[in-house]
Amino acid sequence: MKRFMNLNFYELLEIPVNATSFEIRQAYRNVLSIYEEDAIISDAFFTDEERSAILRRIEEAFSTLVDKGLRAAYTQKLAETGVIDAASLEKARPKKAGPIPLFPLKRKGGLAAVSARVKGRIEGEDFADVSRQILSKTLISGNDLKKLRKHVGIAIEEIFEMSRISLKVLTAIENDDVNALPQKFYLKNFLKAYADLFNLDSRIIIDGYLKNIAVLNKR
């Protein structure tokens, strides 16, 4: 929690300092969905008081960065204190066309059916064998997690619907895409939510996955 509150606004929304308005709004939408009341991650990690503090911080970040004047002053302050590299502000980024909704479209129903299917499959002996093999590993890869998901018979889009983890992040996790993975603070939360969906020991999943990523980073 302390680490989260110490992130600057760009780190909080996981965007570069020269992000476009489009990217700011998209990032705000994604991060906000993680910490709303009905999000699995939010319930698993934070009290109501902590979640409220996080949401206030997110709102503060968004309202500052989406306002041209406030953003300029805030960014200048970060540059002056050495938090960010001022030179990075001058690097041009291609603009993305088209507006993006501030909030995601209402999701379709059917989550109860998906949840029931997941519950039924993870109670089977065949799933116990697969999960036992993975949990016994020192290094747990994204492919291991994908194997679990496919064994249960659900699509990655259904994981998104149940966990509120974005498809981009889920894909990065399952593909061990080191360059596309979120910051460790978020990653650990996402891995816990993923593990909890399949009633697995999240501590083992998180530890094994981070160890595997550390090995990949050394290559």
Contacts 24+ apart (CB under 8 A), 182-190: 182/14, 183/11, 183/14, 184/210, 185/3, 185/4, 185/7, 186/14, 186/34, 189/34, 189/41, 189/44, 189/45, 190/41, 190/163, 190/165
**Tokens describing residue 216:** 């990949």
What is the predicted pLDDT for the residue at 152?
A: 83
Residues 163 and 193 in one domain: yes
Q: What is the pLDDT of residues 132-159, one digit of tens each?
A: 999 999 999 999 999 988 888 888 888 8
Q: Which of 34, 56, 90 is the last residue of a domain?
A: 90
Residues 121 and 212 in one domain: yes
What is the predicted pLDDT for the residue at 212?
A: 95
What is the predicted pLDDT for the residue at 206?
A: 95
DSSP 23-79: HHHHHHHHHHHHHSTT-HHHHHH--HHHHHHHHHHHHHHHHHHTSHHHHHHHHHHHH
Q: Within a domain: residue 145?
A: yes
Q: Within a domain: residue 83?
A: yes
Q: Which of 90, 125, 154 is the last residue of a domain?
A: 90
Q: 131 near 202, Cβ under 8 Å?
A: no
**Tokens describing residue 104:** 């995601």
Tell me the mean pLDDT in the region 51-66: 87
Q: How many structural domains compose the chain?
A: 2
Residues 116 and 210 in one domain: yes
Cα–Cα distance measured from residue 219 to residue 203, given in angstroms and rounded to the nearest whole number: 25
Residues 158 and 62 in one domain: no
Q: Within a domain: residue 19?
A: yes
Place of tokens 């890869």: 141
Q: Is the pLDDT of residue 173 over 60?
A: yes
- Give the pLDDT band (50/70/90) at residue 174: very high
Cα–Cα distance measured from residue 79 to residue 203, given in angstroms and rounded to the nearest whole number: 38
**Tokens describing residue 176:** 């061990």
Residue 10 belongs to domain with CATH number: 1.10.287.110
Tell me the mean pLDDT in the region 118-127: 76
Q: Is the pLDDT of residue 18 over 70?
A: yes
Q: What is the pLDDT of residues 181-218, one digit of tens each?
A: 888 888 888 898 889 888 899 999 999 999 999 999 88
Residues 86 and 118 in one domain: no
Residues 58 and 124 in one domain: no
Cα–Cα distance measured from residue 26 to residue 100, given in angstroms and rounded to the nearest whole number: 7
**Tokens describing residue 172:** 């990065």
Place of tokens 């780190």: 11
Residues 212 and 164 in one domain: yes
In the chain the first and final C-alpha atoms are separated, in Å, by 31
Tell me the mean pLDDT in the region 156-175: 83
The residue range of the domain holding 31 is 2-90
Residue 147 belongs to domain with CATH number: 1.10.260.40
- Its pTM surpasses 0.75: no
Tell me the mean pLDDT in the region 10-35: 84
Q: Within a domain: residue 17?
A: yes
Q: What is the pLDDT of residues 78-113, one digit of tens each?
A: 988 888 876 666 554 444 444 444 444 344 445 677
Q: Within a domain: residue 166?
A: yes
Residues 123 and 198 in one domain: yes
Q: Within a domain: residue 21?
A: yes
Residues 75 and 149 in one domain: no
Q: Is the pLDDT of residue 128 over 80?
A: yes
What is the predicted pLDDT for the residue at 103?
A: 40
Residues 146 and 196 in one domain: yes
Tell me the mean pLDDT in the region 17-41: 76
Residues 121 and 213 in one domain: yes
- Give the pLDDT band (50/70/90) at residue 26: confident
Residues 147 and 48 in one domain: no
Q: What is the pLDDT of residues 32-53, one digit of tens each?
A: 777 665 555 545 556 778 778 8
What is the predicted pLDDT for the residue at 40?
A: 52
Place of tokens 């949840």: 115
Query: 158 in helix, strand or coil?
Result: helix
Angle at 179 between CA 208 and CA 76, to 5 degrees: 120
Q: Which residues contact 130 (CB under 8 A, 6 or more apart)?
A: 147, 148, 151
